[in-house]
Amino acid sequence: MSAGTHRSRGWARHLAGTLSPIALTASRVALESHRGLRAHRLLDAAGDRLRERGRPTRDRMRALSVSPGARFQWHRVAVPPPPGPDGAIVHPIAIATCDLDRALALGATPFLLPLHFGHECVAEVLQIGDHVTSVRPGDRVIVPFQISCGACSSCRAGLTANCRSVPPISMYGFGVGGGHWGGVVSDQLAVPYADGMLVELPPEIEPSVAASVADNVSDGYRHIGPYLPALLERDPDSEVLIIAARRKRSLYSASVPLYAGLIARALGARLIRFVDARPAVRAEAEQLGLTALPPSEVRGLAPAPLVIDASASARGLRCALTLTAQDGICTSIGGLHTNARIPTGLLYGRNATLLIGRTHARAIIPHVLKLIVDGQLQPQRVTTHLERLDDAPRALREHVATDATKTILVES
């Protein structure tokens, strides 16, 4: 991968971005419910920091923060308080970058910096609350990046990204924007609902292999798993088309579309076309057995029954929709654009379906782990860099400055 490809935004441009139209849209969603609880959490976090600075009452630990300019730095902060009856304290042992992390660290997203970094990990359980029954200290677990209770009507329905017990868009690693739950690049992490969230890591899976299951691998699965089996039953030659970056200098890493391609192969797809403007990413896709194309060759393609828009751009979404076949499905990862032109007449005439949304990670994780245990899915094939957790500041600076696809941090 090339070095020094991407440049960071300074404080002024970053702060301007936090007031952009997409930031205002995100704020509206975040404040649609549980406003009091969100404010209470933020005030509690601020008060806790002030108390610990004045007269520390708890032990200290490392936690990695990122500031505008992609400045990664270890800080000494208070360890989480003992878990409540339903909670747990875990120690992250394998941590993965997310496709959004480059843009986040460079200050090119609405999420306000500085913040405690990271939201994908495998961890070891250190402490559990009195009511917790599913895990014990010493267990290795996947920690979903989204906060969910496991007991409300949404969680019971598998809609864990919209848990009714916490404010909307509650998640690790996004600072104020995610509800101030902390980042996983730290020595300890508080899990509020251990039975509802934590998923035991099968002993045959190495932590580094499953580090990204907490988000990106599961995000790849949600575009494929619910739809492809039925399409293949109807037509074993059903094609999967993945539209990734349309620009060579895209800030978004390519792991979600690459994972989606691997999962499509695991579930029996014979033809998987992968469109990306970046030659290095196309080379990765070819190594994974996908048919890689530059965006310039898309125009001649026939519509496909299953299309994944992983472009994170309005133009990419429109391209994906125009290439969705009759009675086909187009599923989009979304992006930081506020609006897109939707060819509604075309979709109506073809009777095509468009799905845009966030992954329900906790509900999907067991399906992904089964594919890995069965040997059908090898997410480590997408990993480009394996680094020591102690070297996180350097490794993550290099990750966000280059076109690295997936960096995994592991304990020495």
Yes or no: say if 168 and 33 are a contact pair by the CB < 8 Å rule: yes
Q: Is 3 domain-assigned?
A: no
Query: CA angle 131-136-139, nearest 5°?
Result: 145
- 374 within domain boundaries: no
Residue 207's CATH number:
3.90.180.10
Cβ neighbours for 332, distance < 8 A, ≥ 6 positions apart: 308, 309, 310, 317, 320, 354, 355, 356
206 plus 239 within the same structural domain: no
According to DSSP, the residues that pair with 77 across neighbouring strands are 61
> 377 in a domain, yes or no?
no
pTM, two decimals, is 0.95
Classify each residue of 283-295 as buried b or exposed e, where b means 16 or more C-beta atoms within 10 Å of its C-beta.
ebbeebebebbeb
pLDDT tier at 274 (50, 70, 90 boundaries)?
very high
Q: What pLDDT does 52 receive? A: 65
What element of type H or E holds 279? helix 279-287
Same domain, yes or no, for 190 and 250?
no
The model's pLDDT over 329-341, given as tens digits with 9 standing for 90+, comes to: 999 999 888 899 9
pLDDT of residue 355 exceeding 90, the answer is yes
Does residue 375 lie in a domain region? no
Same domain, 225 and 339: yes
Distance CA 306, CA 237 (A): 12
Domain contains 376: no
pLDDT at 313 (0 to 100): 95
Does 52 share its domain with 156? yes
Number of domains in the chain: 2
Are 286 and 171 found together in one domain? no
Question: Is residue 289 pLDDT above 50, yes or no?
Answer: yes
Give the HSE-up count for residue 379: Cα atoms under 13 Å, Cβ half-sphere. Answer: 33
Given 338, 356, 374, the domain boundary residue is: 356
Examine the pLDDT at 176 and tell me if it is beyond 70: yes
On the question of pLDDT at 1 being above 60, the answer is: no
Section 246-253 average pLDDT: 94
Range with the poorest average pLDDT among 51-55, 217-221, 224-228, 285-289: 51-55
CATH of the domain at 323: 3.40.50.720
- The encoded tokens of residue 258 equal 């690459």
pLDDT for 49 beyond 80: no
Question: pLDDT value at position 30?
Answer: 82
Residues 233 and 155 in one domain: no
Q: Please identify which residue in the block is written with the tokens 């598998």.
A: 158
Which of the listed residues 313, 339, 356 is the one where a domain comes to its end?
356
In the predicted structure, residue 126 carries a pLDDT above the cut 60: yes
Same domain, 243 and 320: yes
- Indicate the SS3 state at residue 409: strand
Kindly tell me if the per-residue pLDDT of 269 is higher than 70. yes
- In this structure, are 235 and 190 located in the same domain? no
Q: Give the sign of the dihedral formed by CA 167, CA 168, CA 171, CA 173.
A: negative
| Structure confidence by residue, pLDDT tens digits, 362-377 | 999 999 999 999 999 9
Torsional class of 401: left (φ above 0), alpha (ψ -120 to 50), beta (otherwise): alpha
- Asked if the structure places residue 372 within a domain, the reply is no
Long-range contacts of 158-163, Cβ-Cβ distance < 8 Å, separation of 24 or more: 158/360, 158/363, 159/360, 159/363, 160/360, 160/361, 160/362, 160/363, 161/357, 161/358, 161/359, 161/360, 161/361, 162/360
pLDDT at 86 over 70: yes
Same domain? 30 vs 160: yes
| 3-class SS of residue 119 | coil
Instruction: State the pLDDT at residue 336.
Output: 85
Averaged pLDDT for residues 377-402: 97
Handedness of CA 166, 365, 195, 411 (dihedral sign): negative
The two structure tokens encoding residue 381:
């094939």
- The residue range of the domain holding 52 is 11-213+383-410
Query: Do 70 and 200 belong together in one domain?
Result: yes
Q: Provide the pLDDT for residue 2.
A: 46
Whether residues 196 and 278 fall in one domain: no
Give dist(CA 220, CA 271) in Å, integer.
Answer: 17
CB 230 within 8 A of CB 262: no
As a whole number of angstroms, the distance between CA 109 and CA 317 comes to 19
| Residue 285 confidence (pLDDT) above 90 | yes
Judgement on whether residues 200 and 264 belong to the same structural domain of the protein: no
What the block records as the tokens of 117 is: 């970094």
State residue 407's pLDDT score: 98
